[in-house]
Structure 1
Amino acid sequence: MRVTVVGVSEVPQEIEVPDGTQFLNVEPAIRALRDQGIGTAVLTCLSEEPLTYQVLPSDGFVSSDLAPWTKPEWYDEALPWIAEQVEATGPWTQVRSWGLSNVLRIPTIDGDVYFKAIAHSTTIKPTRPDPLPLLFAHEPLFLQKASEDHPGGVPAPLAIDSQRAWMLLPDLGTPLAAETDVDVWIDFVRRHARLQRSYVNHPERLLEMTCADRRLAVLDAELERVLGPTPATERLEPHERARLPIRAKQLREAITELSSIGLPETLLHGDLHPGNVAVRDGQVLAFDWTDASWSHPFLDLVTFIEEERSPLSADPRVLDAYLSEWEEYATPTDLRHALDLATQLGALHQTMTYAHLLDHVTGPSKASMLRGGVWWLRQLLKP
């Protein structure tokens, strides 16, 4: 597919990238430009269709995006900071960039290191005066504190800048989604459940780690607003919107029923899917903890189970292994029922996430968040 690039010369330039490349996965465009002898970085995506990027140096360009990394001068601060922390053995490459994060890969003598800058309430401004709060955790601080609590349980940053929400991470390996050994999947879900259980009696630590309070009671309180008139619900078909009031009543009943089972609310990853888990040298770690919160632990399974793309995520042996870690709180039958209820409420949790994100992104990133919110709403409405 053809991509238009503006900013490296007075004339827009076209490059070729693989078909289906998503706007936020910028590495194919960066590589295509590097093949032409142009070292650069994407500042912002101007358009998804046709895909158009604004890149460095872009002298005089003023970005309408909110993220600091969309400004050329941002690299004058970020690159020296990286150089202070690690010694590169080659040029850095931009991997991913959009309204929520910017990721660079730096080769070093000890392997690749990844730099990540995140959108957080301390680093970006909302798009309107009365925004919904951004529900993101401060991922660098979260990982620093969680890795101190549980060495080897989460990725440990090589360095962080808490004020600017930057961090450096080692290469964590290959995605769990590519793993064919069911024992590796079982090992991961057991470890994840144990990590969640370790914070059961420590809600104050979760809040100190910048996790958002997203317990079932909070979800209940937000239910009418999330399913009421919003940019996402307005994009549903009329017959779909007509079903929302009865669905809201059913979801409120599901919240009450799930609460009654007695499982404790604790650490939730919030975006736990097989592409956000990496395997390296026998170690399996979840990454991308921006959605970390204090909530019902089983809500993580709604994103983890990807039956079509990753069949092992729905393997009964994997799910049974996860549920077995919670048997001190409920019977196997009640745990299975809790999982069924959490599947519905996990979709509501995700709908709420996307609704809040809309006030903190612009352009293609905002359009992507809106599509995501509509998709989760339709999951909620499935029979």
Structure 2
Amino acid sequence: MSRVVTLVLVDPTGAVLGALPPYEVPMPWWQEVADVVDGARQHYGVDVTVLRLLRASRDRPHGGEVVYAAELRGPGTPSIVDADGADVAALTPHARRAPWAEAGGPGATTAWAADRLAARGRLVVRTRQQRTWNLSAIWRVETVSADGGGPGPVDITRDPAWIKQVPPFFAHEAAVLRWLGRALPGAAPELLDAAAPGRLLLAHVPGTELYEAGAAERDELAARMHRIQLRAAADLDRLLADGLPDLRGHRLADRIRVVLAAYAPDDPALTALADGLDARLAAVAACALPDTLVHGDLHPGNAIGRPGARVIIDWGDAFAGHPAFDILRLTDGVPEAPELIASWAARWRADVPGSDPEHAVALLAPVAALRNAAVYAGFLDRIEPSEAPFHAADVPFWLDAARALR
């Protein structure tokens, strides 16, 4: 599966220039744009920065025909551009548009990062856009030492950094990374700098994501998260004061009920779940595990590094709540889930004598699905409509999962 991409080009002021003819890129994932940028250069000799999704031929990710807004880098208008092919209506301003999705926004963020790296004695020699969508924009930055790196050829890949920019509802990610850097160095990427609006400058982490992780690697990841959560339980008040969202107890129940009222007001199974949420969460509390820092999206793709030294990335979904939410996410759809949950539970029983981790997991399974539905509903409430296809199918998916788990 691949994508057929059309780019509607704008200049740095946002003025519409026209559209490039469609071209195919190998990666189907809508938010991954490195090959989109490469394709524009290879096919048409133009340098662009992708700003945002305008529309797609499919109502859910991924593949198909996809149209993006892209900012032309450099002067002039390419002769290949079709002035009549631009979707001008989709380029009108929108109140919920991300800063990096506007013309000039990516340039402001990469300039900020270059300035902060220069203050650290590192000069930017290349910036490569990797991803953009309503939840983040990511660039890889290649740098050299400001003193030239000494004699001999310069290897521009030897000292990379990463720029990440997130929306206001993920603004707490910087605070979580700062806390992790102080409390458990090496558990997460090093935060080099941060600034509004949602800008993060991160140190490079060698290694690859663990998307194809087996049971042993998932268990190792669960053990690393367990150490983080033990430490965070004692510092939860500080994390909350720094902006970590609070989804403990009734706050989570209240949020779920709002979403169910909007998306499934007449569903008897989900109504019964909603009506029983307070009693269910009281039973979870009786299992005696502490509230702590929850990653919120703990799957192997959000871990990177080498065996025995995995680094957990992407903390934007983090919240204060029950640790079982992370093991439920980590084992979702995995045949070895019972064994992994048993291993997770043994760690908690050893550190919290008298607790009942297994019962907490069983009670929270449908609640985790409802929380996921609420997360995606929250995204849809706070992003511009043209990017809704990224998430619209996720709310009914997780409501169906909760119904099956009730």
**TM-score w.r.t. length of structure 1:** 0.83
Q: Any residues of structure 2 matched to 1:177-326 within 5 Å, and which?
A: 177-180=211-214, 182=216, 184-228=217-261, 230=262, 232-233=263-264, 241-280=267-306, 282-307=308-333, 314=337, 316=339, 318-326=340-348
User: Deviation of residue 7 (structure 1)?
Assistant: 0.5
Partner of 1:128: none
What is the alpha-carbon distance in structure 1 between the residues aligned to residue 257 and residue 341 of structure 2? 31
Change (3 A) 1:252 1:382: farther
Describe the superposition over 1:70-89 as per-residue Cα deviations: whole angstroms up to 9, x where unpaired.
Answer: 11122332222222234466
Query: Is residue 114 of structure 1 aligned with residue 166 of structure 2?
Result: no
Partner of 1:10: 18
User: Deviation of residue 281 (structure 1)?
Assistant: 6.6
**Which structure has more strand as a fraction of its residues?**
2
* SS of residue matched to 1:213: coil
What is the alpha-carbon distance in structure 2 between the residues aligned to residue 245 and residue 10 of structure 1? 50
Partner of 2:390: 368
Q: Does the 8 A contact of 2:99 with 2:197 survive in 1?
A: no
Partner of 1:123: none
* SS of residue matched to 1:3: strand
Change (3 A) 1:159 1:222: closer
Query: Is residue 81 of structure 1 aligned with residue 112 of structure 2?
Result: yes
Change (3 A) 1:284 1:362: same
Which residues of structure 2 form unaligned runs of 5+?
11-16, 58-64, 78-87, 144-155
Q: Any residues of structure 2 matched to 1:51-200 within 5 Å, and which?
A: 51-57=66-72, 62-64=92-94, 66-86=97-117, 87=122, 90-108=125-143, 109=156, 110-120=158-168, 134=169, 136-161=170-195, 163-172=196-205, 173-180=207-214, 182=216, 184-200=217-233
Q: Does the 8 A contact of 1:302 with 1:347 survive in 2?
A: no
Describe the superposition over 1:58-112 as per-residue Cα deviations: whole angstroms up to 9, x where unpaired.
Answer: 9996443510111112233222222223446653221111112111112234343
Change (3 A) 1:272 1:137: farther
Partner of 1:47: 55
Question: Rg larger in 1 or in 2?
Answer: 2
Partner of 2:32: 25
Aligned AA for 1:360?
A: R
Change (3 A) 1:137 1:233: farther
What is the alpha-carbon distance in structure 1 between the residues aligned to residue 175 and residue 333 of structure 2? 33
What is the alpha-carbon distance in structure 1 between the residues aligned to residue 305 and residue 107 of structure 2? 34
What is the alpha-carbon distance in structure 1 between the residues aligned to residue 49 and residue 38 of structure 2? 10
Give aligned pairs, total: 354
Name which of structure 1's ranges 145-154 and 5-14 shifts more when overlaid on structure 2.
5-14
Describe the superposition over 1:233-266 as per-residue Cα deviations: whole angstroms up to 9, x where unpaired.
Answer: 37xxx7xx23222232344432121111111111
Q: Does the 8 A contact of 2:55 with 2:387 survive in 1?
A: no
Which residues of structure 1 form unaligned runs of 5+?
121-133
Partner of 1:329: 352
Change (3 A) 1:315 1:92: farther
Change (3 A) 1:217 1:2: same
Q: Does the 8 A contact of 1:145 with 1:209 survive in 2?
A: no
What is the alpha-carbon distance in structure 2 between the residues aligned to residue 296 and residue 367 of structure 1? 30
Q: Does the 8 A contact of 2:209 with 2:302 survive in 1?
A: yes
Q: Does the 8 A contact of 2:290 with 2:322 survive in 1?
A: yes
User: Deviation of residue 26 (structure 1)?
Assistant: 1.8
Query: Is residue 344 of structure 1 aligned with residue 351 of structure 2?
Result: no
Change (3 A) 1:233 1:370: farther
Change (3 A) 1:373 1:258: same
What is the alpha-carbon distance in structure 2 between the residues aligned to residue 260 and residue 75 of structure 1? 48
RMSD over aligned Cα atoms: 2.6
Change (3 A) 1:46 1:187: same
Q: State the percentage of identical aligned residues.
A: 26
Query: Is residue 35 of structure 1 aligned with residue 42 of structure 2?
Result: yes
User: Deviation of residue 4 (structure 1)?
Assistant: 1.1
Describe the superposition over 1:254-301 as per-residue Cα deviations: whole angstroms up to 9, x where unpaired.
Answer: 212111111111111111111111123742111111111111111112
Q: Does the 8 A contact of 1:357 with 1:369 survive in 2?
A: yes
Name which of structure 1's ranges 6-15 and 196-205 shifts more when overlaid on structure 2.
6-15
Q: Does the 8 A contact of 1:157 with 1:169 survive in 2?
A: yes
Change (3 A) 1:212 1:114: same
Aligned AA for 2:228?
A: L
Aligned AA for 1:55?
A: A
User: Deviation of residue 170 (structure 1)?
Assistant: 2.8
Between 1 and 2, higher relative CO (CA 8 Å, sep ≥ 6) is seen in 1
Partner of 1:127: none
